[in-house]
Structure 1
Amino acid sequence: MSKHLAWYDEIRESGRVLWHEETQSWYITRFADVWDFLVDSRLGARTTDTFTDRMTPEQAELCAPILDFVSKWPVFSDTPRHTGLHRTILPCFTSAETDRIGEAVRSHLAKDGSIPWQSGDLLAGAIRPACEAGLVAFLGVDSDELVRVSEWSARLIAFVGRTEYHHETMTRASVALREFSDFVVHICGEGRSALSSTMQRAVEEGALDWADVVAVYGQMVTGFLQPTVSALTMAAEILANHPDGLKAYVSAPDTFISESIRLASPFHFAPRRTLEDIEFAGEVIPEGARIVLLLVSANRDPRRFPEPMQFRMDRGTPPHVAFARGRYACVGAGLARHIMQGVLDAMVEEPRTFAVEALTADWNIGPGMRMPKCLVKARS
């Protein structure tokens, strides 16, 4: 087990809330509490960066555009701005658009010889490319452009994940943001997808400015691809390995996918900020404090999920919190599930999927995310 997940489990069992001096954060760990706090109006989305107050004026000047960019992501925006962004973005997720993106995924998987079912790495050979095909269709970019977008995204994510100033990381992220911004303006002007056309129209009508649009694209790129890949890797591993995996998926694909997402819990926490003093579990959490809602800990809470590390189809409701809920819920969650179902359907329809003895995933589990390294045939 990852040391990070082990610590999250440990603090969940030690109490409902923990003050952590090193990160200057209050941690909420249990499912029932996380479930409630996700829709608590006393919490705001934006949090204070833990290292920005220690920067020099020169460092602050370099980081300012990137901090502003991240602060404009829908997931980090408070009302009323958040409400306006969601009202603009949600029409991009129509049934017709979702079906179009799902068809792009299925078309990719239908290519002869594109999937190494019995050898090689299923993650690199099928899962990641299929998810990328869906993202390409949604964003309105081509495959070559996605390579550049992914490079920009990696540099920006490296910045977001820092807890202290690092000049090379900040410089690379600053350059990436300038290039990514120019690219987003270009593709929106060409109206290549429902998203790009909607964003262009919102700018023309004055509902959004270009900084808002770049932030929307930034969240979609960084916050959609990797979590979908992680959840799908978990689902594929279960489908191939679990004795009742095939039967479970065919009988109730939505439930199967939901339980796979719970086990994966790609994003480990959701940071929030208190808008007023909050009395909770014998503690007073002051206004302006940073609260960390531990999604992964909640999804492993045996009070809500008996045998939490086991795959079970009888979990019932309320469901997991892997994609959060309420006004800060992941706007692309439905699209992620649709892409997952397209890939899993292809596995079910392909007899070679079940010709291997087992599949095993190798994971990179950090403090904030679970990311797969590979999905290969298990060694005998």
Structure 2
Amino acid sequence: MGVGRTERLLSNFLADLAELRKRGDVHFDEKSQAWHVFGYHDTQEVQNAPAIFSSDVAALRPRQQDFELSNKGNFVRADDPLHRRLRGTVGKAFTAKMIADLEPRIAEMTTQLLDAADAGGDRWDFVEQLAYPLPFLVIAEMLGLSDADRAVFRRLSDTFVELQNYDPQQPRDEQSRKAVNNVAPVLRELNRYLLEFLRARRENPTDDLAGRLMVVEVDGVRLDEEEVLGFLNLLIAGHHTTTSALGNTVLALEENPHLWDELRQDSTLIPGAIEESVRFRPPFPRSARQTTQDTEIGGQKIPAGALVLVWLTTANRDPRVFADPDRFDIHRSPNPHLSFGRGIHFCLGASLARLEAKIVIRLMAQRYREIRVRDDAPVDLRNPWTMIGVNKLPIEVRGN
């Protein structure tokens, strides 16, 4: 397979982080030119202090106009008051009610994808036939993308994500330069496409998310096209994150088949299984901040202007907070993992990701008594230093 290989790779990644942590829960690393933060409480402190630990890290990489354009409306990489204005305006269009109202349609899409997968037999690839297309189709339908637009959007967004790569053995300056050189041409094309799409929405308003984003106002002020562009780029990252979360959940349940039986018998356990999945394998292994002033964390003095990397992977496995942290436990309560962030930067799309995962697991539990990762086909794993997830996950299912 399969799962054993997956676990070895995850174990290797965790072992590498454990080696780094031996230098201290908070320490400076010369190669990455960054301060690493590993513990739960220190990570939470960083997340809850945006005035000191800024999310705007653009100054730490080479300036490049395509990245600057893409980030103009990216409130994940903004601080208050800009963050408050951007997120507050977007939030008036991307509402909790809008997401909750999607449940019947997401269930319908999931059923259609499962029917199509089952029509080909009891062996199919979970990512290719369900975990990837579902989040993509949900976003595409929310935005009102035509079939032609979907093809372009999918090609560009996939290429953009595939080009993201983190190598802990490379110096930070070299990684930044390579990232800009590799990604900028695709980002330029993606920006150009999205801006044309949004300008068409402004000229001919539509009652979809893209149309609403172009007209929504707070205190009489609308988002401009480039600010909406930044949010759409967040959605691109969001649907790939959900794909990873779905794949990671199936991996964890296959590794613990008795838990699959529990979920089949009691669907109220599904939300807990999803929370445990994003704790156990957070799709984004770390997040970056830049200090705005001299500060101290974990007993270490950090100067202003420093890059700080908080490792969600290790924070979520801190034994001071999580009992038996390396065990996948769908009954874990409370489960205060940090995968969706804390404070003002709590993930705006968390409710949509949770809803999609809940529906997928519920419908699969109703349909299959067993899901097995095949041992005769390789699992294609992502680089866990960049994103924890799978690109291919061949499974065999047995119906109820």
Report matched runs for 1:365-376 at 5 Å.
Answer: 365-376=383-394
Asked if the contact 1:31–1:299 (Cα under 8 Å) also holds between the matched residues in 2, the reply is yes
**Structure-1 residue corresponding to 2:212:** 198
**Structure-2 residue corresponding to 1:91:** 92
Q: Structure 2 vs 1, CA of residues 173 and 375 (structure 1 numbering), >3 Å: closer, same or farther?
A: same
Q: Structure 2 vs 1, CA of residues 127 and 337 (structure 1 numbering), >3 Å: closer, same or farther?
A: same
Q: Distance in 2 between matches of 1:88 and 1:18?
A: 38
Q: Indicate whether 1:15 and 2:24 are aligned.
A: yes
Secondary structure (helix, strand or coil) at the match of 2:283 reads coil
Q: Distance in 2 between matches of 1:143 and 1:103?
A: 22
Query: TM-score, structure 2 length as denominator?
Result: 0.82
Q: Distance in 1 between matches of 2:234 and 2:160?
A: 10
Which amino acid in the other structure matches residue 54 of structure 2? G
Q: Distance in 1 between matches of 2:96 and 2:187?
A: 35
Task: For residue 104 of structure 1, report the CA deviation from its aligned partner.
Answer: 2.4
Which amino acid in the other structure matches residue 44 of structure 2? W
Secondary structure (helix, strand or coil) at the match of 1:163 reads helix
Which amino acid in the other structure matches residue 333 of structure 1? A
Which amino acid in the other structure matches residue 176 of structure 2? T
Q: Indicate whether 1:332 and 2:359 are aligned.
A: no
Which amino acid in the other structure matches residue 98 of structure 2? E
**Structure-1 residue corresponding to 2:110:** 109
Q: Structure 2 vs 1, CA of residues 269 and 311 (structure 1 numbering), >3 Å: closer, same or farther?
A: same
Task: For residue 190 of structure 1, report the CA deviation from its aligned partner.
Answer: 4.4
Q: Structure 2 vs 1, CA of residues 348 and 167 (structure 1 numbering), >3 Å: closer, same or farther?
A: closer
Secondary structure (helix, strand or coil) at the match of 1:347 reads helix
Residues 340-380 of structure 1: CA deviation (Å, up to 9, x unaligned): 11111110111xx224555685421332212312222379x
Q: Distance in 2 between matches of 1:308 and 1:88?
A: 38
**Structure-1 residue corresponding to 2:283:** 266
Residue 276 (structure 1) aligned to one of 280, 288, 293: 293
Residues 70-129 of structure 1: CA deviation (Å, up to 9, x unaligned): 253110011001001121122334454223433222112333731247202122112222
Residue 186 (structure 2) aligned to one of 149, 168, 172: 172
Which amino acid in the other structure matches residue 117 of structure 2? I
Unaligned runs of 5+ in 2: 1-8, 166-174
Secondary structure (helix, strand or coil) at the match of 2:290 reads strand
Query: TM-score, structure 1 length as denominator?
Result: 0.86
Secondary structure (helix, strand or coil) at the match of 2:177 reads coil
Q: Distance in 2 between matches of 1:5 and 1:174?
A: 35
**Structure-2 residue corresponding to 1:129:** 133
Q: Structure 2 vs 1, CA of residues 334 and 190 (structure 1 numbering), >3 Å: closer, same or farther?
A: farther
Task: For residue 226 of structure 1, report the CA deviation from its aligned partner.
Answer: 1.0
Q: Percent identity?
A: 21
Asked if the contact 2:27–2:300 (Cα under 8 Å) also holds between the matched residues in 1, the reply is no
Which moves more between the two structures, 8-17 or 296-305? 8-17
**Structure-1 residue corresponding to 2:154:** 150
Which amino acid in the other structure matches residue 177 of structure 1? N
**Structure-2 residue corresponding to 1:55:** none
Q: Distance in 2 between matches of 1:125 and 1:45?
A: 35
**Structure-1 residue corresponding to 2:47:** 38
Residue 230 (structure 2) aligned to one of 170, 190, 215: 215
Secondary structure (helix, strand or coil) at the match of 2:385 reads coil
Residues 41-89 of structure 1: CA deviation (Å, up to 9, x unaligned): 321111145551xxxxxxx5xx223234225311001100100112112
Task: For residue 300 of structure 1, report the CA deviation from its aligned partner.
Answer: 2.3
Asked if the contact 1:265–1:296 (Cα under 8 Å) also holds between the matched residues in 2, the reply is yes
Task: For residue 268 of structure 1, report the CA deviation from its aligned partner.
Answer: 1.1
Q: Paired residues, what number?
A: 367
Report matched runs for 1:219-368 at 5 Å.
Answer: 219-222=234-237, 224-240=238-254, 241-248=256-263, 250-317=267-334, 319-350=336-367, 353-358=368-373, 362-368=380-386
Secondary structure (helix, strand or coil) at the match of 1:273 reads strand
Residues 245-297 of structure 1: CA deviation (Å, up to 9, x unaligned): 33246232221111111122001111111111112233210111111111112
RMSD of the TM alignment (CA)?
2.8
